[in-house]
Structure 1
Amino acid sequence: MDYKLFDEFITLQSLLKTTGILPSGGAIKGFLSDNLLLFNGEKEERRGKKIRIGDTVELPNQGLVINVLAPSPQEIKQHQEDLAEKERVTKMVKEMNKKNKQEKSIAVGKTKKQKKDTPARGPVRFPGT
């Protein structure tokens, strides 16, 4: 299996989660204690081990080898466009949430004002008192 690395490094835990070998990052400790994992041919048990371009991660019991490769210029361009789009959508959602929050606080302020304008009622009476 080939993995394209767009950053300087990825941790072993993140690599195994991203490739779908692990269901979550929390499963790494148990996975490493139960399975043999080779990093560039040597046994590795550190979940935070930094994996860089050119490294290989091997799971011999599963017959799986992950080669960490550099992406092509086209893949880098597409990745940057995807990140820019994700940032644009995130910004838009934050602005919408802020606007909705302001509208909600204005609406709540009106209801409080309406309550102040209504005449005061007598004290609350409880049965038997």
Structure 2
Amino acid sequence: MDYKLFDDYITLQALLKETGIIQSGGAIKGYLANNTVLFNGEDEKRRGKKLRLGDKVELPKEGITITLIQPNEKELEQHQLDLAEKKRVADLVKKMNKDKQKPTRQDNTKTQTGKQPKKPVRFPGM
């Protein structure tokens, strides 16, 4: 299996998660403890190991070999466009949240924390 690497490196944990071999980042410790993972032919137990272009990760028990390759120009362009769109949407949401006005407080209504506003103290018989 080939994995196209768009950045300088990817960690072993992230690679196994993105390829669907493990379901979550928390599962990596148990996976590495119970399975053999070979990094360029040598046993690897560090989940944060940085993998770069040309590296090979082998999972002998599953019969899987992952080779990190460089994407072509078209794929690289599409990745850059996707990142730009993601940033644009994040900035838009941030701006919308900033522009939101806080609701005004009215007597006998709950505040944002869910508490009733304080009423003046009344003394009996007055």
Partner of 2:122: 123
Aligned length: 113
Partner of 1:38: 38
Q: Which whole-Å CA distance do the structure 2 matches of 1:94 and 1:3 have between them?
A: 33
Q: Please report how far the alpha carbon of residue 26 of structure 1 lies from its aligned counterpart in structure 2 after TM superposition.
A: 0.9
Show CA shifts across 1:68-120 (max 9, x none): 000101111000000000000000011111122xx2x2x325x36xxxxxxx8
Partner of 1:96: 96
Local SS of the residue matching 1:108? coil
Runs of 5+ consecutive residues of structure 2 not aligned to the other structure: 108-118
Q: Which whole-Å CA distance do the structure 2 matches of 1:124 and 1:38 have between them?
A: 78
Runs of 5+ consecutive residues of structure 1 not aligned to the other structure: 113-119
Q: Which whole-Å CA distance do the structure 2 matches of 1:124 and 1:62 have between them?
A: 78
Question: Where do residues 39-54 of structure 1 align in structure 2 (5 Å cutoff)?
Answer: 39-54=39-54
Question: Where do residues 1-129 of structure 1 align in structure 2 (5 Å cutoff)?
Answer: 1-100=1-100, 103=101, 105=102, 107-109=103-105, 111=106, 123=122
TM-score by length of 1: 0.81
Q: List structure 1 runs of 4+ shifted beyond 2 angstroms.
A: none
Report the structure number with the largest CA radius of gyration: 1
Q: Which whole-Å CA distance do the structure 1 matches of 2:98 and 2:15 have between them?
A: 35
Partner of 2:115: none
Partner of 1:117: none
Q: Which whole-Å CA distance do the structure 2 matches of 1:77 and 1:17 have between them?
A: 24
TM-score by length of 2: 0.83
